[in-house]
Structure 1
């Protein structure tokens, strides 16, 4: 059985492994970035776990605007209690757990949290090939992002309330 929970500091090493499986070196969050996210936004950092092993995660801070900006990848602030957009800076599933619906479970949980806390919506950036996955979850492609994170062309996807 897969369980979803908030991140714990003891998850760090498993999270780094999954991050590096899912993202290139240029895209991947650093260990320091993970430590900050665990410290400042544990309420919007969700982990999927089975038998004590982390299968995947989703995380991101609450932001005022509808689109992610590159500064979010290095500067995290604690989340406000209400309003704003739930951003997603990272969604990754371990190689061993792919194809089991873990990413959808994580996204659904973060969407529930956003609704429960009166967020204006959920926002993320993704590569072109991932747009259909997010559109199936109710996101709308709002075009090319201004983000230059990792030297990649990203697209703004938003699910508004």
Structure 2
């Protein structure tokens, strides 16, 4: 498996994975995903298998605040070079590639990149069923989020460096 930065040519595969992992209310639109590739490619990582097929991805902008706010799902701005919290808006793995630790490998690479950029840590929201996955990857559950994204109940998870 190779982890690299996303590119526009990945968009169809990214959307297939995004819509398989999130409900229509939660999933990013194709327009939003394309914007993320163009604006924050430096924090948009893709995992390819040995044949070059996209198997998963992780993406999020750098933010000043400790917890995600719903406006981040609609519009992104260019990342600051240093500092801030690396956020995660989406971490998704293709259904046929799940249970191969691709999600954990993507997180590890994002953590490595965030430390290199002297970020404060990584922040994300997740559904209750995913809290144990993030805790196994070093994140602390900091309780219920104020997010109402997709009409779901979300939890704030943070990994501070």
> What TM-score do the two structures reach when normalised by structure 1?
0.99
Q: Deviations over 1:83-115 (max 9, x none)?
A: 000000000000110011100000000000110
**Residue segments in structure 1 that go unaligned for 5+ positions in a row:** none
**Residue segments in structure 2 that go unaligned for 5+ positions in a row:** none
Distance in 2 of aligned mates of 1:40 and 1:77: 7
**Counterpart position of 1:48:** 47
Shift of 1:138: 0.8
What is the count of residue pairs matched by the alignment?
A: 160
**Counterpart position of 1:15:** 14
Measured on the aligned residues, the alpha-carbon RMSD in Å equals 0.4
**Counterpart position of 2:35:** 36
Distance in 2 of aligned mates of 1:149 and 1:58: 18
Q: Deviations over 1:13-67 (max 9, x none)?
A: 0000000110011100000110110000000000000112000000000000010
Distance in 2 of aligned mates of 1:76 and 1:138: 26
**Counterpart position of 1:119:** 119
Classify the secondary structure of the residue corresponding to 1:79: coil
Distance in 1 of aligned mates of 2:75 and 2:27: 15
Classify the secondary structure of the residue corresponding to 1:118: coil
